[in-house]
Structure formats: C-alpha cells, structure tokens
Chains A and B, each alone.
Chain A
Amino acid sequence: MARFRAPVRVEHGRHLRERGPALRALRPRRVLDLLRRVGELLETVVEPEIAGWSVLVAFTAGEGLGLNRAFLLLAEGKLLRGWFGVGPRNREEARQVWSEIRSTGAAPLVRLAEPDRSVIEAEQRRHASTLASLSHAMSTECGMWRRAFIARGNHPNPCVRHWTAVLDSRELVVVPLMASGQPWGVVLADNFVTHAPIHRSTLEAAETLAHYLRSALERTQLLQEYQRERRRRLAADHATALLETARTLAHDLKNPLAIAGGIARELLAAPPPDAETLARRLGIVAAGVSRAEQRVGELVDGLANRADGIVLEPVDVGAVAGRVVEAFRPLAISRNVRLLCYHPSRPVLAAATKTSIERCLENLVANGLQALVGACGEIHVAVREEAPWVRLEVADNGQALPGALRSDPFAGGVTTRRGGSGLGLASVRTLAEAMGGRVEYDEREPGWVRFTVVVRRWS
C-alpha cells in the first residue's frame, strides 16, 4: 500500500517533522469503506450537532481523510455563519492532540459510534471564536460554486480570501454545499500544521462526505422541527383538555355544592314553615352532596386509569412477554443469541394497554439484540410481581451501555448501536409513563445490562 511520508520542513533553522493524523493515499477501496461507514452512521443520527461532528471527524481522523482541521459554515440569510469545527487550533495543540492519539491508539472514527455529548460541546466551545471570525457575508460569486476546490490567499472570491486569512491557510479545501442553486453551506479544511499536499482523491471524498453531511443535517433538522411541532401540538391539546376538564368540574362539582350550601344557608336564615318544604329542601341538599361525591369518585378513578388518553385495561404481561419472545426467537437463533423468558404460570395482570406493553418489550428485546451483535450472548425476559407493581425486565450480557447513555438511557436522541436511532428507549419511557408506570435501568449484575418497565398491577 502506498504511503505518504509527512513532509519535512525547515523552520527556525532546524528540521521539524510534523506528524499529523496518518497520511495515507486515499485508495478507492478505502474511500468507499470510509463513505460506507460514515453513511451508515449518519443514518442513525438524530441530532444535527452529532451529524456535524461525525462528518468533520471523518475529515480530520487519520483513518479518515487525514486533514488537520475542518469547519462547517451554514447559510443564514446572506451570511455564511461558522457552525462547527474539529481539529487543533494551533501547532502546539496539534502536537499534543496527535501525540495523545498515537500513545493511546485511539481511533476517532470508531468512537463515532458512541458519540460523547460533552466532547462535542467542548469542541464547539473550543472553536467558538474561530467560527465567529469565519462568519462572512456571502458574495454573489458564492452562488456560482458547484464543485469542491483548493484555494489560496489570492483567491478572487472575497469570502475565500477572508477564510484563508482567518485560518492563515496556505491551501484551503473549500467544499460548497448548494441547495436549489443557492449556497446552503460550506465545509473548509486544511493541513495548516503538516502542510501535506491535498490530492484530488481527498478532494472528491471530501465533497461526497460534505454532501452526506448536508443530507444528514437537513434530515435531523427536519426531525427536530417535527419533534418541536409535536410537542407544541401536545401542549395545545393538553391545554384544551385541561380547560374542558375545568369547565366540566365547575359544572359538575361546584354546582351541586353551591346548591347544597345555598339551600342550607336558606334553611338557617328562614326555616320553612312546613315539614314538607323542609323535607324537600333537605332532599336537595343531600342530592347535591351525593352528586358531588359521585363526581369526585369518578374523577379519582378517571385520573388513576387514564394517562395521555390511554384507557388502561387488565393485561396479562406474562402472556404478552411469551408471545413477543416467540416472535423474536427466529431472529435470535439466527444471531446465536439465547432468548429466555420467565414468568409465573398464572396470569400477571397489569393496568396497561396490550399494544404499549408489546411495543415496550419489542424495543427492549431489539435493543438487547443490537447489543449482542457479533457475540453469542443471552437475553433474559422476566415478568415479576412486586405489589403494587408488575415488573417487566429485559436483561442482556452484551456490550455495556456507552458512557453517553448511562446518565439517562431513556432520554432519546443519543445514537449508538445499542438503542438504534436513540428513539427506541425513549419511546419505552413514553409508553410506560403514559400507562402511569416508569422505567428503570441497572448494571448491578456484572456483565449484564437490565432495562425494566414498571407498571401498576391491575386491581
């Protein structure tokens, strides 16, 4: 395999070998493998920041394109605004970072599968001032860009001249991203430390990666907008339902109490002259109190049995678990995974909905299977009663939960092989809470990860 040596430069009278991320010729097969890996990764990403970070890491990682640093600018009105950056900020930082990477043998591309939000946020903060400096008003020539190119300081486009000046870049990779003939964004990258030559194959791969990024960002931004809209609608629906409930309560509870109280006051203020009127009015008082009492009872029952519009019913969780496990068994066998199910032989009734319990279990078993990809492990599904609760546990002895997920694995949005799009575990929580239950996660038993859905026992 052909390898480039890092260029030897003379600086301040001494020879200095700058060794950035491993510089290798980008063979078509390696490029295709990189594009496949990044493409697969982006399919599961649901947050724009993670998409941006993942692609820029692919630009800069040694096993990626090997460029020293990369930046993404996005169009906002007539401005190209710096949004994300990856890589060292200066020569000293480069030495330190690359030395660490070499000594630890870290492979940034492998780590993409388990994005660490704190690292991404730190990277955003680290490059904040450079990104602010890179922001620049678009010139009309920006709309003429079609293909990626390598620019130098004397470039005719004022934007490019500005970027090369800000980055003090001798050769700057400029990858324009266009949408409907208008600039959508631009990726900038260079070898400002190593000054390694940038080959056509690198430029072409950079262009393809940047387009992956655009597509992922558009998708994740749409997804976020959809989720925001969904939350807005839910909030509006809840507000409407609350107002309607308030109206109904006012009518159904306040009225009988006001009648009973009012008549009682009247009886005190002006005792009726005859027993018949007294009896009738006392009857009204009693009826008012009874009606209020009945409505309070109905309200309490309704609140206990209804959550988010779900009407709870008795569900035999053991039977559901058995059916779902059997449905997954062929897939588990094909992956050499032992799938076991334990539940009492008698019915274990929970206040739930059958479809929600099924969906929770399907997501958790699928999550376990993902954690066991390439391993011959086990998944244990167990149903237990712990009055007044029913516990539905799914444990696997696959890979441990990534650090980013541990603090709140049900939060959603964090992507990893375990948890798929990051939405599976989040929907388990949503469904459990809608049934008036909760979710739990533990790794108490060494080597095992356990997720539990806890719902109220039917009584």
Chain B
Amino acid sequence: MTVARVLFVDDEEGFLELYRSAFGREGYTVETAATMDEARARLARGGVDLVVLDIRLGESSGLELLREIKAADARLPVVLSTAYARYQDDFSSWLADAYIVKSSDLGELKRAVARCLETTS
C-alpha cells in the first residue's frame, strides 16, 4: 500500500508545524506550502493525493486556488480548512470535497482526510 501524500497549504507556520507532526504520526507523507505560489509550484510537480487548503492565505484567497486545482484535476480531493465557518455560504467553497472549521482538536480534519482519500482510491 502506498503512503498518501497530503499537501497542507496555510500561511500560519504554527499550523504547518502541527500538521507535520500530527499527520506524520498518522503515516501520511506531509508536504507544506505557506503561499499560493508555493502550492502551485508543488502541485505542478504532481504526486499529491490530497490538498488541505486554508481559505485566508494572507492577502490571497484559498478559494481561488481551489478553483484552479479543480479546473486542472477535478478528481484531486481538496479539504477546506478555515477559522471562519461562514465561508461555507460561498459557492466557490462548494467545489471542495470537505469543509472543516479549524480547531486545536484535529480529529475532524483527520477523519475528513481519511474519508476523501478512501473515496478517491
């Protein structure tokens, strides 16, 4: 069984550190990007199985990157992870495979990642 490669995109280095630790322990190959450009560059190289994407990326919107990802490969699962629940009202967020409100408890995010990977495998 191949190890799933998950790309976490978030402008908060603290979250990226948390994801590296928590998802690394779960057996995932964790890659991180702090900006949209870093994320685009990593996605262009291929091999990513799932993207966990923050919506508010500094001055940029993760929803824009979501549209780009889905336009390039509609099958690549994307989990939106944000501090603000009401982005769910934004039509653009409906393209995502899951929508998670950030929390110190990563249980829901871990379950969403596992579910999306299972669906696409």
Q: Which of A's residues lie within 8 Å of B, judged by CB? A: 243, 246-247, 250-251, 254-266, 269-270, 280-281, 284, 287-288
Contacts and interface: CB of A to CB of B under 8 A. Distances in A.
A250 B83 contact: yes
A262 B17 CA distance: 10
Nearest to B106: A262
Given A261-B103, A264-B104, 4 more contacts: A250-B83, A251-B83, A255-B15, A263-B18
A65 to B, nearest CB: 61
Given A264-B104, A265-B104, A259 B15 contact: yes
A258 B17 contact: no
A245 to B, nearest CB: 11
A246 B21 CA distance: 30
24 contacts: A247-B84, A250-B83, A250-B84, A251-B56, A251-B84, A255-B12, A255-B15, A255-B102, A256-B14, A257-B104, A258-B102, A260-B104, A261-B103, A262-B18, A262-B105, A263-B18, A263-B21, A265-B106, A266-B18, A266-B21, A269-B25, A270-B21, A284-B14, A284-B18
State the main secondary structure of chain A at its contact with B.
helix
A342 B42 CA distance: 72
Nearest to A284: B14
Contacts of A251: 56, 83-84
Interface residues of B, number: 20
B83 A261 contact: no
Contacts of A254: 83, 102
Contacts, number: 67
B19 to A, nearest CB: 9
B84 A287 contact: no
Contact of B14 (A246, A247, A270, A287): A287
A265 B102 CA distance: 14
Interface string B16-59: 01100110010000000000000000000000000000001000
A266 B105 CA distance: 10
A250 B22 CA distance: 22
Given A254-B102, A265-B104, A259 B86 contact: no
